[in-house]
Amino acid sequence: MKIVFIVGKRGGDYFAVKRAIEKGLLQNIEIVYIISNSSLSKAMNDYKIISDNFYCKQDNESRVQFFDNVQDLLAKIEYDYIVLSGFDWLIPSKLVETNINKIINSHHSLLPAHPGLFKKEKLVESDDKFLGATLHFVDNGVDTGIKLTQAVFLNYGIEKFDLILKIYRFIQDCMIVQSLAELNNQEAEHREIYFNEILFNPSIERNILKCFERIYFGK
């Protein structure tokens, strides 16, 4: 299965997938191209070390021109899915319509609650008792596409914001890796629906959970 990443300045999902491939958690899956709207993208600059298959927005390139060039580029690439990672620009309808149920986005709320762009701090400071994330396909609405997986955990409050950020990264890494494995029809062995006070639906392969638990919580 071939994956294209469209990334912003960070691109955490890219690093999760790269790590999962290296550790054998994702089999017969490869990252074939990275596209970014920022020359400062950590994901793109990491990928550039091993591949010339990247495209970065030029300084004199408008947003419309950028997406036109992306559309032309994708027409020449063989790929199965596009993963958005830290990319905060709205995907044009033309690009969506030529990639129905192919563009995957990770959103830091339990959709349909809190769609669109917002800062995690505002959600943590709200009276919401639970926080979570949703992995979904992109359609022409605002975070209204088909849901692939969700995870929920307690809102520990702004005084534990650093912990909350770690949990967010942990669940989003686990969800993108598990979802790509399922989309690739990779066989699962031992799966968990409840892990360290986090509820996943559908469940996550235990090896994936333990891998990212060690990374973020040192266990």
Nearest alpha carbon to residue 33 among 8, 61, 4? 4
Average pLDDT (158-173) is 97
Q: What is the pLDDT of residue 117?
A: 87
Whether the Cβ atoms of residue 43 and residue 76 lie closer than 8 Å to each other: no
Residue range 14-31, pLDDT digits in tens? 999 999 999 999 999 999
Length of the chain equals 219
Q: What is the pLDDT of residue 191?
A: 86
Residue 219 pLDDT exceeds 80: no
Q: Please give the torsion angle defined by the CA atoms of residues 208, 173, 17 and 94, in that order, rounded to the nearest 10 degrees.
A: 140
Mean pLDDT computed over every residue of the chain: 95
Q: What is the residue extent of each domain of the chain?
A: 2-217
The reported pTM is 0.94
Residue range 71-112, pLDDT digits in tens? 999 999 999 999 999 998 999 999 999 999 999 999 999 999
Helix, strand counts (H, E) of the chain: 7, 9
Coil, strand or helix at 185: coil
Q: What is the pLDDT of residue 102?
A: 97
Domain 2-217 has CATH 3.40.50.720: no
